[in-house]
Amino acid sequence: MSAIIQSSTDLDDLFRRYHRELHRFAYGKLRDREVASDIVQDAFLRYLAHDQGNNADTAPTTPKFFLWRIASNLIIDLVRRDRRRGVIAPIESIAQDMADPAPTAEHRLAARQEFLLLKAALDELPAKTRAALLLNRLEGLTHAEIAARLGISSSMVCKHIMRALCHCATRLEAVAG
């Protein structure tokens, strides 16, 4: 049986079946709920991107294991990136920020440019898609809370957030690459 996603219902089903378990897996490795949530959303986005870019012959036959492999690779990449950057413990980071709170002019310029690119990407999104992402990422609302506020289902909130993240990542990568 091929696991190629034929509709948004298939993606919903996949998400409902594996989201919690995949989140527990990522949290067990990272011990950070927010980072684990990001890893899980990125894993589903990459699954969807792989699925849409391939035909039934190359689709994974076991979506669960494919999702876990994607999440594992994302975790490995994150750990490697943190090691290369020399990520330090949170308390040390806070101490460094307190010692030198003013960013350099280069950092301010880079942050401003990235902000403008992200703002442009967000402005291109449909209103509910943009709202779902901002309510989740900026206000920290759960999918159920967002669904109640926007008058849509929780699964639709998930789809909106995934679409928004994918769109923003694509736009930022196009400029960076």
| Residues 14-33 pLDDT 10s | 888 889 999 998 988 888 88
Q: Tell me how far CA of residue 75 lies from CA of 2, 26, 93, in angstroms.
A: 26, 8, 21
User: What digits encode the pLDDT tens for the residues 90-140?
Assistant: 444 434 444 445 567 776 777 788 888 888 999 999 999 999 999 988 888
Residues 6+ apart with CB under 8 A from 11: 5, 44, 48, 159
Give the start-to-end residue ranges of the domains of the chain: 8-85, 115-176
Inter-residue long-range contacts of 110-119, CB under 8 Å, 24+ positions, other chains counted = 114/172, 117/171, 117/172, 117/175, 118/168, 118/172
Does residue 35 carry a pLDDT above 60?
Answer: yes
User: What digits encode the pLDDT tens for the residues 134-167?
Assistant: 998 888 889 999 999 999 999 999 999 999 988 9
Could you tell me the fold of the domain covering 115-176? Arc Repressor Mutant, subunit A (1.10.10)
- The structure tokens listed for 133 are 């992402």
User: What digits encode the pLDDT tens for the residues 39-91?
Assistant: 999 998 888 887 766 555 555 668 888 889 999 999 988 888 887 777 654 44
Q: Which pLDDT does position 113 carry in this prediction?
A: 83
Output the pTM of the full model: 0.46
